[in-house]
Amino acid sequence: MLLKLRSLVFLVVFYLWGTTSCLLWLPMLYIPGVPRRWHVAFQTIWLRTVHFWLRLIVGLGMTVRGREYISDKAVIYAVKHQSMLDTFIMHAILDDPTFIMKQELLQIPLYGRVCEKVGNIPIDRDMGMKSMKKMLKRSRREIDAGRSVIIFPEGSRADPGEKHAYLPGIFGIYKYLDVPVVPVAVNTGLYWPRHGPLKPGKFVIEFLPPIAPGLQKQKFMTRLEETIETASRDLLTLVETEK
């Protein structure tokens, strides 16, 4: 009962804070010439506040493994996607990354506008190759500007212990940008599940050895999937053994 109450309190605070802060920032979203760095600063403050509420209300913290694999150069981070947390935490770890995100997320009032202003890259799956080519060009600009690109290779959330097919678009990005891909495993779905209350504890984000550019498609896709899925399963097992 207490777990559900704490979860409910956090979600109320989370959505109230999100709506209020975006409304306060609303004029900046439509004033021409506002520097991108201002929008990034707003996003950073918003995300750090969310992390604070998670710790205070839910008792949920974070452990980061494999920091030695975080690159000081712009690369691609391919992240296992289990939870809404996954869209927040990378900003707390990496320096000003860019997300590749579904086009429909830009339709969310206020939130979508902020995503657009900070430079996140939309992809419309219904548009096929046209959208893919546009996304690749945007990704190239971000990499050239020194910002890493984050992508969820499954495209949508999978419950802990499950996986979706890895989409071929990740190989297209890998081949076009010709930079390393850093796989990232998570167990966030155990603590902020799609359905059910948030749970206290420490979720784990694990950066894994990078995959160098130049691999053929099948070899790359197999290595990426096996690396992420094996490490993510190990993180689930870790939690079970600690109980």
Confidence (pLDDT) at 126: 66
Q: Which of 14-28, 66-80, 114-128 has the lowest mean pLDDT?
A: 114-128
Task: Pick 180 or 87 by higher pLDDT.
Answer: 180
Per the prediction, the chain carries an average pLDDT of 90
CA distance from start to end of the chain:
20
Question: What's the whole-number mean pLDDT along residues 167-192?
Answer: 95
Under DSSP, the state recorded for 72 is S
Q: What is the band of 195 on the pLDDT scale with cuts at 50, 70, 90?
A: confident
73 assigned to some structural domain = yes
56 assigned to some structural domain = no
Q: Residue 120, Cα to own-chain centre: how many angstroms?
A: 11
DSSP letters along 6-49, please? HHHHHHHHHHHHHHHHHHHHHHHHHSTT--HHHHHHHHHHHHHH
Query: Alpha-carbon distance 23 to 3, whole Å?
Result: 30
pLDDT at 209 over 90: yes
pLDDT at 82 over 70: yes
27 assigned to some structural domain = no
* Mutual angle of helices 2-30 and 36-53, in 10-degree steps: 170
Question: What's the whole-number mean pLDDT along residues 87-94?
Answer: 87
Domain of residue 92 covers 61-242
Judge whether 44 and 150 are in contact, CB under 8 Å. Answer: no
54 assigned to some structural domain = no
Whose structure tokens read 């097919």? 165
Tell me the CATH number at 155. Answer: 3.40.1130.10
Confidence (pLDDT) at 127: 64
Confidence (pLDDT) at 239: 60
- 77 strand-pairing partners: 150, 182
Confidence (pLDDT) at 112: 82
pTM exceeds cut of 0.85: yes
129 assigned to some structural domain = yes
Hey, how many other C-beta atoms are within 10 angstroms of the C-beta on 220?
19
Contacts of 94 (CB under 8 A, 6+ apart): 70, 77, 148, 150
pLDDT at 215 over 90: yes
Tokens in use for 177? 């940008």
47 assigned to some structural domain = no
- Is 161 strand, coil or helix? coil
Question: What's the whole-number mean pLDDT along residues 215-236?
Answer: 96
Question: What's the whole-number mean pLDDT along residues 210-225?
Answer: 97
* Buried/exposed code over 110-132 (b: 16+ C-beta within 10 A; e: otherwise): eebbbbebbbbbbbeeeeeeebb
For the chain, the domain total comes to 1
